[in-house]
Amino acid sequence: MDKKTRNIEFDLLYLALLTKKEIKPLSRWERKLGPIEIEALKSMGLKTRPIKRYLESGRIFEELILSGNEELIDIYANAFMGKRMADSRKTGLLEGKLFGYPACCVRSFVSHGYLPNGLSTDDQQILFHWACPDCQVTPKLLLRYRSAYEEARRIQVGYSLKKLKNRQVAGIIPVIGLASCILVIGCEHKSAKHKSTTPSDEPDIHCIAVQNDSDNDYLKDEWEDPFGLDPSNPDTDADGVLDGVQLAKRLWGQIQNPPEWIRIDDHWLRGLYTCSKCGQTVNMGFVEITNTGKRVPSVRVDYLALHYMEHGSLAYKGKEDISGIVDALQLDSILSR
């Protein structure tokens, strides 16, 4: 491998090796690549093609397809170029076939989602599909994946042994739209149904200022009184934590561990947003929060917003020109008995 190949990020190198070796006949990368990365893929004998598709919101989403086989790229392009992304069995089966996943695993995932499969966390993490229970194909395929993984590590001398928490995966999971495994296979996201470590009690780089905030505690003045807070005092209870930061983390914690009368549904979309503060990638979808004991509309909270709330900010911003603020009053009303 030449110097250009060694300099690309590990996740892309690993995916490219799997594709070059035809372990994955065709792969998908869901982040923009520069000329250096494109040239590195070309030096490995891989062909690439950008594919533009439409999200449910109407936003254009561009993905990069790579393969050593031009015909496979043509098949993918003919099926999906300019089309709206849809959660369908037909789509999942076609992509699973093109990406080289075991047919039994694709059928199982499309029909049943994440069934227990007995694989270790380390083994499942390096795969790009969710193995079905008692799969006879995946154990053999794992040997080839592991070989490519170790080769990628050897090429990039000094690559740490950290988990692939932020790897972009060309998996069927973001398309099918089922509850997260990953972290997705694309990005590690702590969805409403997946517990996470307790966030720090101190504000960090994620805290974004909001309008109409006299005491600069990251909370709108008009929201303070309903929560029993003082709009002229940034730390009403004098516990050392700003009011807005404390509220954001409290609401986040309630979503992570909802009471029995709250139903939380994951809605995954194909595509990723990138946190403008830390660079973590987060699925473009949202959670839908419903209070089963109230006749009130459910509320939607973007996964990107959840990422920011975990760090103490009701406002959020992605590098893809997306920003917003969680309506604390509406969310609290839904979460309350």
274 forms beta bridges with: 281
pLDDT value of residue 197 = 35
Helix 89-98 to helix 103-112 angle, to the nearest 10 degrees?
A: 150
Q: Looking at 35-39, 89-93, 140-144, 185-189, which range is the least confident one?
A: 185-189
User: What is the average pLDDT across 159-168?
Assistant: 36
Between the alpha carbon of residue 268 and those of residues 58, 180, 258, 288, 316, the distances in Å are: 15, 8, 19, 11, 18
Q: Which of 82, 86, 74 is nearest to 25 (CA)?
A: 74
pTM across the whole model: 0.52
Residue 108 · residue 138 · CB < 8 Å:
no
User: Would the pLDDT of 279 be above 90?
Assistant: no
Between CA 327 and CA 334 the distance in angstroms is 11
Average pLDDT, stretch 284-305? 89
Confidence at 2, pLDDT banded by 50, 70, 90:
low
pLDDT for 203 equals 61
- Per-residue confidence band for 166, with pLDDT thresholds at 50, 70 and 90: very low
pLDDT of res. 87: 61
Q: Indicate the domain borders of the chain.
A: 3-176, 221-335
pLDDT digits (tens, 9 = 90+) for 186-228: 333 333 333 333 334 456 799 999 999 999 999 999 999 999 9
Going by pLDDT thresholds of 50, 70 and 90, the confidence category of residue 244 is very high
Q: What is the arithmetic mean of pLDDT over 72-93? A: 85
Sequence-distant (≥ 6) Cβ neighbours of residue 283 within 8 angstroms? 174, 180, 184, 186, 187, 189, 268, 269, 271, 272, 273, 303
Grade residue 58 by pLDDT with cuts at 50, 70 and 90: confident
- Both tokens of residue 223? 């929201």
At residue 3, the pLDDT reads 60
Q: Work out the mean pLDDT of the chain and round it to a whole number.
A: 81
Position 302 pLDDT exceeds 60: yes
Radius of gyration, CA atoms only, the chain: 22
In degrees rounded to 5, what are phi and psi of residue 3?
-60, -35
> What is the predicted pLDDT for the residue at 140?
93
**Calpha distance 97→82 (Å, rounded):** 21
Tell me the pLDDT band of 86, cut-offs 50, 70 and 90: low
